[in-house]
Structure 1
């Protein structure tokens, strides 16, 4: 097998360092010098660091460094790693001619094998489970068009948007899908432009003119970015307009991936809406954290734990990591803890060092809560009065003195817009279990708590009185949905009079429903083949 890497000898390193000094270059500047001296060529800062530390690097990168330093590569390389002259001196390009392709394939030299620049953070998970389909869909979206694409991963806080983007980037780095580099940018409370310039200087070795305004510095970076397709990830974008002017222009080799909680970040963007894990995915995640044997021993409790946490990846990760440290705890004990303390359970409170997530459940939801205006928060508190069941929107209309259009605007732009409210069907919505708990806590701590609960109870009484004494099938189906919310109103009401009315109305609806149920059962029995046996 031909040798594919080269290592500088001790004497060769001294010569290279002397040459670097004589040219007035730093190691960072050497990367830019290589790009200027050899069209389409690029050697990352990491590869240059390896060269000067006496570590093996790919043939083509070694030769380019030596050529730029005006050194004979054969005199710099250690004898034990010397390849043939043809093997080491072969040039490379991201867009080779057909003749060049034949040559590079013959000697095993390829642009993709040079380390692509990246600043990816470490992933804090052991096994990435339950997200294979979204991962494949994300890749298809980004590679679907020859023009520049911007793909968006959206979803509620804690759903795993950052982890999905990171796993895609890490896999792409390992497979060299983006030889031009993968640039990871933190959009929340950090300057995107400054991060891009810093990446270009540190990872690419570009000499960015500091006298230019920041936007022009960023444009310089995109213009002189080394060859090859590039992935740019912007994590946790809140306002698209604040980052849009920093994005690369419509060049096919730049692909942009954005994570956000906004359901509709901007027009024209391809969006992948991330949902909670399936029960099977949730169980796999718990197995990866606390072990297969432990889960299999308490499988039913593990399923209840997934249900209790709504299969939210952040919740499962936090609880799983907590149980991994609590070896004597059973899953039933964890369920009791959650039932007693709710979101105040220590397991949900904070993340561990090394985890991709930086916040516990309450802190994660607080970020979305702060994005709501006063009316949006009031509606969220009102919805927390409902039971943890599907909510027909007709039950909300007319509440809190708002007209229909105002309520719909608050619902769509505030709650649904931040993935805090899930749409199940036409006119039917639901709060995620943990979001419902969070909203209920906000209500209990609000000075208008009693007023909101009173309004909810009045609303439920009005709904109950609307139900007729003899119900049609459709009205009975509505009653099935309404009963859990009437029961919840009865539980949270602090007024004796309201409780008395609610109890009376609830009892009446249940009697009607039972009467109809018994009647239906008798009809089916009479119509069945066994009717002769029964009648006899």
Structure 2
């Protein structure tokens, strides 16, 4: 099924030659070469009135004589012809005619050619009435005389499976059937075997079949048992084994290496990186063997493809090789090199540049060879965590972070410094999600390990202190955060020196803590000293310097010192544009901050194009659904609201809220901020019934996540109280709901104070 175009092309190949026509059907084992030749013979019997003869290529001459002699040449003494080739030539030369002119074409099919010189070139063809069609895994002929048989299209594969199991079963599990075809790589042999297996057991669901295949892979009975009702001669692995046996040792080694990669195109540069000591020409010769046998496909641009089941077959062959661990180690190390550019901030372009390697990194990261490869596998899992964390894909990030932690705990031990790093990564993820209660014990355990194993004054201990302090600061637990920040600063100063960049970072963080509490006089000298260190040690145009300038400017803005803030914001923006480029997310942040300054000054016309450009960068570089994009939407909406442009503000506030709910979660503090802002817009419009549930939901989130005493909680509570007061003053209290929280605030505001 699904081979109509191939059948037509094959017929054309066999009719275009003026003398002896030889056409080859090539392809990997199980792709349906023999089936196509058989189908062609059945459909075109009328075009070959002299007959169609099916011969095994390895014994073609003998089988041709065995077919022809008893029918037409029983009286001929074939012993006078001393070779099978001469005997076959005699049979052809005296083949019965079905007409005088032309005598009637004959089709000779040589199935499974493995030696072109002996089995095709050595096979005698007498006269132009004979056409020869042969099948082979190898691509012997030039493309003009060869039909390279590919895999079925997804729709044709589904139709073939349906032909075995019935349309009703396919319709009942359509999605599973499509996944089943995909897992089998649209290989006709696999589809035929699995279809026959399902047909023999009507009670077996397609989902259960899929589950068995994923568990047992090529060893599943459906792929090894060959029912007599099919045209297949062997199972999938057995079909591949025929090609494997003719490979050289070098090609087999290369095949096993390729089987270590994931189900995606493999860059040849990675292969060369895995085998740096191999002779280049010998490696290319091994590759050519795999390509010639249709076990490997050239995709162009230095990329090569493996059929999914061929990849499974190659992977299984690694269990028989003494150098399997060496090859697997080489693949892990090569993928670590290919992913080492992953950081905690990734642009869309950077993510797309890693598109080729990520499927392989994921496949290898799931290996269970923890005893031998635990450390590099844990690193690879950590890289994947960073990749998805940077994109705001927290569910995927958590999977890889937890796997990295599990590997390190089991292989390295619960108290190893690398285990502490994995704990720290998972805690940072939970902190980003606002899951502070889950993050704190992980940060604490990471700190305890580092203090005990590395020492109380080790730089990694200082880092753990800083991270735990940052968590407390996010929760508004400033009194708990300050001593940790101070101790972290003391370690950096003592171990690395007063002018080290890490010391500058610690000063910056402590200053941020003071600024959050409104302790501007305490924060300013720390920000200033941090900036001075970075300018002197890192340079005036370093990105850390730009960060210090930005933070210093934000301090001035908070104090209303706008004239002092603006040149610092501008200089920070200039550095980021020059060093990172005009479209980098950090540049967008600087644009946003400068726009915020202009908005604070009431310079709305100057602020709007900066907010718009910041939003465009975030959408283009990070994606339309990234949390930073939500922030940009919120800020632009707030600008419109400040100007009374409510209709322009609402869709932006709504989209910002949708992103936060979708990416960060319904109970994240950022989601609460979006709810608060949209509620404030509705309040400004007098849409009190729409505003109240948003204010209330916002307050519930911050009470749960941040606690009663957090500054943000107090701000939200104040906003809700002000809202209720406004409703009362406009004589619309009847529009408020009966919710206990709302009614409690209403009662407080309407109950006269005790005399």
TM-score using structure 2 length: 0.49
Partners of 1:404 and 1:468 lie apart in 2 by 33
TM-superposed deviation, 1:266: 4.1
2:44 maps to which of 165, 172, 194: 172
Q: Are residue 138 (structure 1) and residue 10 (structure 2) matched? A: yes
1:198 maps to which of 66, 73, 80: 66
Partner residue in 1 for 2:190: 315
Q: 1:467 to 1:299 in 2, by over 3 A?
A: closer
2:379 maps to which of 486, 491, 501: 501
1:56-107 Cα shifts (integer Å, max 9, x gaps): xxxxxxxxxxxxxxxxxxxxxxxxxxxxxxxxxxxxxxxxxxxxxxxxxxxx
TM-superposed deviation, 1:172: 1.7
Q: Are residue 482 (structure 1) and residue 351 (structure 2) matched? A: no
Structure with larger Rg: 2
The 5 A counterparts of 1:233-312 are 233-249=109-125, 251-262=127-138, 264-266=139-141, 270-312=145-187
- Does the CA-based 8 Å contact 1:148-1:255 persist in structure 2? yes
What is the SS of the residue equivalent to 2:53?
strand
Q: 1:137 to 1:266 in 2, by over 3 A?
A: closer
Partner residue in 1 for 2:593: none
What is the SS of the residue equivalent to 2:132?
strand
Q: Are residue 153 (structure 1) and residue 25 (structure 2) matched? A: yes
1:347-383 Cα shifts (integer Å, max 9, x gaps): 1112112422110111111111111111111111111
Partner residue in 2 for 1:19: none
1:478-535 Cα shifts (integer Å, max 9, x gaps): 31221222233333353233234334444455566779795625797789x9996449
Larger relative CO (CA 8 A, sep 6+): 1 or 2? 1
TM-superposed deviation, 1:149: 0.9
- Does the CA-based 8 Å contact 1:218-1:246 persist in structure 2? no
What is the SS of the residue equivalent to 2:79?
coil
Aligned residue pairs: how many? 401
Partner residue in 2 for 1:51: none
- Does the CA-based 8 Å contact 2:344-2:389 persist in structure 1? no
Between 1:428-437 and 1:357-366, the stretch displaced more is 428-437
Q: 1:246 to 1:224 in 2, by over 3 A?
A: farther
Partners of 2:335 and 2:290 lie apart in 1 by 22
Partner residue in 2 for 1:163: 35
Partners of 2:27 and 2:131 lie apart in 1 by 21
1:213 maps to which of 75, 79, 82: 82
1:224 maps to which of 86, 94, 97: 94
Which sections of structure 2, spanning at least 5 residues, go unmatched? 98-103, 393-583, 586-616, 641-647, 654-680, 682-755
1:251-296 Cα shifts (integer Å, max 9, x gaps): 321111000000x214587110111111111111112112122212
What is the SS of the residue equivalent to 2:62?
helix
Partners of 1:289 and 1:311 lie apart in 2 by 15
Partners of 2:209 and 2:623 lie apart in 1 by 47
Partners of 2:318 and 2:218 lie apart in 1 by 14
Q: Are residue 361 (structure 1) and residue 461 (structure 2) matched? A: no
1:213-261 Cα shifts (integer Å, max 9, x gaps): 1222222122212231111100000011112354344732111100000
What is the SS of the residue equivalent to 2:251?
helix
Q: 1:475 to 1:407 in 2, by over 3 A?
A: farther
Between 1:149-158 and 1:425-434, the stretch displaced more is 425-434
1:337 maps to which of 212, 221, 228: 212
More helix by proportion, 1 or 2?
Answer: 2
Partners of 1:405 and 1:464 lie apart in 2 by 28
TM-superposed deviation, 1:437: 1.1
Partner residue in 1 for 2:302: 427
1:279-334 Cα shifts (integer Å, max 9, x gaps): 11111111211212221222111111111111111111111111111011111111
The 5 A counterparts of 1:512-527 are 518=618, 520=620
What is the SS of the residue equivalent to 2:272?
coil
What is the SS of the residue equivalent to 1:423?
strand
- Does the CA-based 8 Å contact 2:29-2:239 persist in structure 1? yes
Partners of 2:168 and 2:379 lie apart in 1 by 52
RMSD: 2.9
- Does the CA-based 8 Å contact 1:182-1:231 persist in structure 2? yes
Between 1:310-319 and 1:243-252, the stretch displaced more is 243-252
- Does the CA-based 8 Å contact 2:32-2:188 persist in structure 1? yes
Partner residue in 2 for 1:464: 339
Which sections of structure 1, spanning at least 5 residues, go unmatched? 1-128
What is the SS of the residue equivalent to 1:210?
helix
- Does the CA-based 8 Å contact 2:348-2:623 persist in structure 1? no
1:390-415 Cα shifts (integer Å, max 9, x gaps): 2222222232332443333221x221
- Does the CA-based 8 Å contact 1:192-1:246 persist in structure 2? no
2:245 maps to which of 367, 370, 393: 370
1:423-459 Cα shifts (integer Å, max 9, x gaps): 3332222211111111111113322222211111122
TM-superposed deviation, 1:472: 8.5
- Does the CA-based 8 Å contact 2:23-2:146 persist in structure 1? yes
Between 1:510-519 and 1:286-295, the stretch displaced more is 510-519
Partners of 1:290 and 1:459 lie apart in 2 by 44
Q: 1:221 to 1:431 in 2, by over 3 A?
A: same
- Does the CA-based 8 Å contact 2:347-2:621 persist in structure 1? no
What is the SS of the residue equivalent to 2:298?
strand
Q: 1:439 to 1:216 in 2, by over 3 A?
A: same
Between 1:462-471 and 1:248-257, the stretch displaced more is 462-471
- Does the CA-based 8 Å contact 2:250-2:283 persist in structure 1? no
TM-superposed deviation, 1:208: 5.4
TM-score using structure 1 length: 0.69
Partners of 1:502 and 1:358 lie apart in 2 by 42
What is the SS of the residue equivalent to 1:416?
helix
- Does the CA-based 8 Å contact 1:201-1:208 persist in structure 2? no
Q: 1:398 to 1:418 in 2, by over 3 A?
A: same
- Does the CA-based 8 Å contact 1:147-1:250 persist in structure 2? no
2:322 maps to which of 432, 447, 450: 447
Partner residue in 1 for 2:282: 406
TM-superposed deviation, 1:167: 0.8
Q: 1:485 to 1:226 in 2, by over 3 A?
A: same
Partners of 1:199 and 1:250 lie apart in 2 by 17
